[in-house]
Amino acid sequence: MKAIFLKEINAFFSSTIGYLVIGIFLLINGLFLWVFQGDFNILDYGFASLSPFFFIAPWIFIFLIPAITMRSFSEEIKQGTLELLLTKPITLTNLILGKYLGTFFLVVLALVPTLLYIYTIDELGKPQGNFDSGATLGSYLGLLFLGAVYTSIGLFASTLSKNQIVAFIIAVVICFLCYFGVEGLSTINLLGSDIYALEYLGISYHYKSISRGVVDTRDLIYFVSFIFLFLYLAKLNLKRQTS
């Protein structure tokens, strides 16, 4: 599994795509938070808070993470190297976990430079350090879990097609529906009553819950279950293709 983990990282950074994807993520965040005027500009926001960042990051993740994961299994299926990998002393579970952890590590790397934002709002606060550290740390934890879920969805999508673009589109659609779609359905008036219970099934509800700085075991169980569900679906699909 360690070899697969390192292989994923090396493959990602052996081309310009790896640097380009992370660079675009940081560029878009930087433009919205510090350059473009509007509701997301921290300097115009009036408060020493990273709330605008934690609002737009899930949107960017919807496109960033599928771009990272789209080649994970699609390329193996297209080149016919998936069967070759499975002839080596590695189980299908370890293969999936190795690719998952390698891809998720890249997502974490994309988030690391944004920690500078914490220092920035700490300096901008009046008095200095006047920001909600609990909510900020909770929001970063929420982003990590969100990234972990999107990565599992992206890996599953990459097992569905040997075409990377198709895998990318499938992953984007699933991530969007799981995050925003369920929340949107919860506001639809059905038979004279709002079905608010659906909101609890959406990723958005649990992400916002952790972002408040309170770590609830129900939210953790939800994210972990979601991750294992899509990794299991990926395993079933790969097993069907190699049987």
84 versus 94: the higher-pLDDT residue is 94
Residue 173's pLDDT band, with cuts at 50, 70 and 90, is very high
222 has a pLDDT exceeding 50 = yes
Q: For position 81, what pLDDT does the model report? A: 78
Q: For position 190, what pLDDT does the model report? A: 52
pLDDT tens digits, one per residue of 117-153:
888 887 776 666 566 777 888 889 999 999 999 999 9
Q: Where are the alpha helices (DSSP H) in the chain?
A: 2-13, 16-30, 42-45, 51-69, 74-79, 82-86, 92-111, 116-124, 133-158, 164-176, 182-185, 203-211, 217-242
82 has a pLDDT exceeding 80 = no
Min mean pLDDT across 3-7, 52-56, 85-89, 160-164 is at 85-89
Read off the DSSP letter of residue 32: I
183 has a pLDDT exceeding 70 = no
Residue 46's pLDDT band, with cuts at 50, 70 and 90, is low
Closest CA to 98 of 9, 221, 224: 9
> Among residues of the chain, what percentage have pLDDT more than 70?
88
Q: For position 186, what pLDDT does the model report? A: 57
49 has a pLDDT exceeding 90 = no
Report how far Cα 78 is from the mean position of its chain's Cα atoms.
25
179 has a pLDDT exceeding 70 = yes
For 82, phi then psi, to 5°, come to -65, -45
Residue 191's pLDDT band, with cuts at 50, 70 and 90, is very low
pLDDT tens digits, one per residue of 9-21:
888 878 777 788 8
Q: For position 17, what pLDDT does the model report? A: 75
pTM of the model: 0.89
Q: For position 198, what pLDDT does the model report? A: 65
Q: For position 221, what pLDDT does the model report? A: 93
Read off the amino acid at residue 186. S
174 has a pLDDT exceeding 90 = yes
Mean pLDDT of 215-223: 89
Q: What is the token pair recorded at 26? A: 């940081």
